[in-house]
């Protein structure tokens, strides 16, 4: 394989793995928050705030992987 093909393959793997993990993580965060709210509805406001913050951190990981994939495509 030539260098261009390897760059494309590396960027595809970076995005594939970099999006799969956060997607699973966000699904688990949402599911566990809904489960916790159903058990204790009085704490829903605090739980949703923490859920949004947690999802923002998980989503930032996917954005970092996207940036790395762009660097692999256009800089390396």
Q: Per the CATH hierarchy, to which homologous superfamily does domain 3-74 belong? A: F1F0 ATP synthase subunit C (1.20.20.10)
Burial class of 22 by CB neighbour count within 10 A (0 to 12, 13 to 18, 19+): buried
- pLDDT for the residue numbered 1: 82
Distances (CA, A) of 20 to 39, 40, 47: 29, 30, 24
**Quick check: 63 pLDDT over 70?**
yes
For the residues 5-28, what does the mean pLDDT come to?
91
pLDDT of 75 strictly over 90:
no
State the chain's mean pLDDT as an integer: 92
The full set of domain ranges for the chain reads: 3-74
* pLDDT score of 76: 65
pTM to 2 decimal places: 0.78
């Amino acid at each position: 394989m030539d260098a261009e093909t390897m760059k494309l393959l590396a960027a595809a793997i970076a995005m594939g793995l970099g999006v799969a993990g956060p997607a699973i993580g966000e699904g688990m965060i949402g599911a566990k928050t809904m489960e916790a709210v159903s058990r204790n509805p009085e704490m829903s406001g605090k739980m949703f705030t923490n859920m949004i913050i947690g999802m923002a951190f998980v989503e930032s990981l996917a954005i970092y992987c996207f940036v790395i994939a762009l660097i692999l495509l256009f800089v390396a």
